[in-house]
Amino acid sequence: MTEISPTYSLIVPTFGRPDEVYEFLESLTHSTFKDFEVIIADGTPYKSLEEIAQPFYQLIPITFIYEEFLPVSDARNRGASEAKGNYFIFLDSDCIIPPDYLEKVDAFLKKHPVDLFGGPDDAHESFTPVQKAISYSMTSLFTTGGIRGNKKHVGVFHPRGFNMGISRKAFEQVQGYDTNFRCGEDIDLSIRIIQAGFKSALIPDARVYHKRRTDFHKFFKQVFRFGAARINLFVRHKSELKITHLFPLVFMLYVLLGGFTLFIQPLIFIFWFVSLFIYSLLIFIDSSIKNKDAWVGALSVRAAFTQLIGYGWGFFRNALEVFILGNKKGLKL
């Protein structure tokens, strides 16, 4: 009997996140759309996480790949090589998938057949206040300009690796992820697919709940890498640096240098202080309303400053490394 291939292959790289993998798989058991398989590519050192998946093998089709210290791009490519579906959907292991996620994706693709697609991310009600604040910061108009999965997104949409679908044809034509490209590899892949002539689309209703980082120190390190990666993307794809990508750098310089105006011109210092207060107040109010929690609103202010300064610093450091110090490979990310 000929085996029927699933429509969607959900490919998930992971590295030492057993609780998140369990939650991810548990959420998929509630999916209202059943025509899918799951491929987990695990790089956890010293111990495979496959035992975490054992309770779900009878509920959903799972393929498990294990190799110690398997890098994320290699993991995704390995997952794709094992996939049987017509579409590959790359998801992060710290995501919780809503029951109707695949139903929304399938309905959209039947009306608008594209080869590259993705959706937004959001915070689940079970997330900690810090995770909700970080989620707000990463998706807010006041921080990212609404470029990460916003319905009013301007320009060509570049899906991110936490929620990124690609047709088998497009993935194979561009030969998948570039394993030499560290951080920003998902955006690089999106760009190469679009340059190859394939169409991209945002599916606004194909939302996932994304945990991201669990504290502000880890969040700073993450956004630092994102900022540095933007320089690497610019080196490879000259047309992909937008004015919005410079905002974190400008904000970082504004925050760090503005305080010195107290010793130069007090009126300018007052303007600097009031402008940052108003910006913080807007974030606090907006996040408090959206999350229905003033504490999350307060934490969102810290998350926003952490994100913008961290991204701006990574952008600046890697620009210095590449364009001034002459290291074309950039910082080791």
Q: How far apart are CA 309 and CA 330, in angstroms?
A: 19
Please say if the pLDDT value at position 289 is more than 70: yes
Structure tokens at 15: 């590295």
Report for 206-220, 256-270, 278-292: range of highest mean pLDDT: 278-292
Taking residue 316's Cβ as centre, other Cβ atoms within 10 Å add up to 17
Quick one: pLDDT band at residue 1, thresholds 50, 70, 90? very low
Please, are residues 209 and 28 in contact by the beta-carbon 8 Å criterion? no
In the chain, the percentage of residues whose pLDDT exceeds 70 is 96
Structure tokens at 121: 């991310």
Please, are residues 189 and 294 in contact by the beta-carbon 8 Å criterion? no
CATH topology of domain 8-119+159-214: Spore Coat Polysaccharide Biosynthesis Protein SpsA; Chain A (3.90.550)
Please say if the pLDDT value at position 166 is more than 50: yes
Please, are residues 9 and 41 in contact by the beta-carbon 8 Å criterion? no
Per residue in 98-110, pLDDT (tens digit) is: 999 999 999 999 9
The confidence score (pLDDT) of residue 238 equals 86
Q: Rounded to whole angstroms, what are the CA distances from 240 to 156, 181, 234, 245?
A: 10, 16, 6, 10
Q: State the Cα angle at 164 between 74 and 9, rounded to 5°.
A: 70
DSSP 127: S
Element (H, E) at 201: strand 200-202
Taking residue 130's Cβ as centre, other Cβ atoms within 10 Å add up to 20
| 289-306 average pLDDT score | 97
Weakest-pLDDT range from 28-32, 49-53, 120-124, 180-184: 180-184
Q: What are the extents of the domains in the chain?
A: 8-119+159-214, 228-324
